[in-house]
Amino acid sequence: MPDKSKLGLVQVFWGNGKGKTTSALGTALRACGNGYNVHLVQFMKNGAGDHEIDFPGEIKALEKFDNFSYKRFGTGSWIIGKPNKSHIEAVEEAFSYLSSCFSKDFDIIIADELLYAVHLGLLDENKVIDLIKEVKSKYKNKEFILTGSHIAFPKIFEIADLVTEIKKIKHPYDSGIMARKGIEY
């Protein structure tokens, strides 16, 4: 039986490098292997782009655990320029759902790409801050992991317990190599 009294931190993975979601899902893999119930809420990842029509490999792998679950939200299209009403509605639906997850039997809740929703103007940063404060005060034995964004959110970082910047030094995409199945997705 996992020791839930050790949970209760807020972790953030952000930056311009590859690996924010991968870091969070690595934590999910470790946690599932140790008996924790992990739930992934993906913002803006519901069939956006050709390679995401099928579920990504990491979700296929984690689905094999009985203590892993997920829900994906999005419109199926990328946000280019100003977000449209359907993008905003999808993020609002995802955020409402995410907020409800803390009262359920999940030990670790991952809000994947939540910070991109803030970055792109789809969600107010203060709503995220309020949720973090609520989680820290009301759900002390729930681990909360947020990912996304190329820009820093100092107010969120200040109240988080762990903040990791994933920094790009070099990426194959810069040389024209597109995302590869089984490696990037």
The total number of structural domains in the chain stands at 1
Over residues 124-131, mean pLDDT = 98
CA distances from 144 to 87, 92, 108, 118, 135 (A): 24, 19, 6, 17, 8
Query: What pLDDT is attached to residue 47?
Result: 54
Sign of CA dihedral 154, 73, 55, 9: positive
How does residue 185 score in pLDDT terms, banded at 50, 70 and 90?
confident
What is the residue whose two structure tokens read 């955020």?
95
Q: Is residue 183 part of a domain?
A: no
Helix (H, G, I), strand (E, B) or coil at 147: strand
CATH code assigned at 112: 3.40.50.300
Over residues 84-98, mean pLDDT = 95
Determine what percent of the chain is predicted with pLDDT higher than 90.
74
Cα 112 to Cα 135: distance, rounded to the nearest angstrom = 17
Q: Is residue 152 part of a domain?
A: yes
Cα 122 to Cα 112: distance, rounded to the nearest angstrom = 14
Q: Is residue 86 part of a domain?
A: yes
Q: Is residue 168 part of a domain?
A: yes
Q: Is residue 184 part of a domain?
A: no
**Facing residues of 115 across strands?**
none
How does residue 69 score in pLDDT terms, banded at 50, 70 and 90?
very high
State pLDDT tens for residues 103-113: 999 999 999 99
Q: Is residue 107 part of a domain?
A: yes
Q: Is residue 128 part of a domain?
A: yes
Neighbouring residues of 70: CB distance < 8 A, sequence distance ≥ 6: 39, 40, 41, 42, 59, 62, 63
Q: Is residue 181 part of a domain?
A: no
Residue ranges making up the domain that contains 136: 4-175
Q: Does residue 163 register a pLDDT over 60? A: yes
Q: Does residue 52 register a pLDDT over 90? A: no
CA distances from 161 to 1, 9, 120 (A): 25, 6, 24
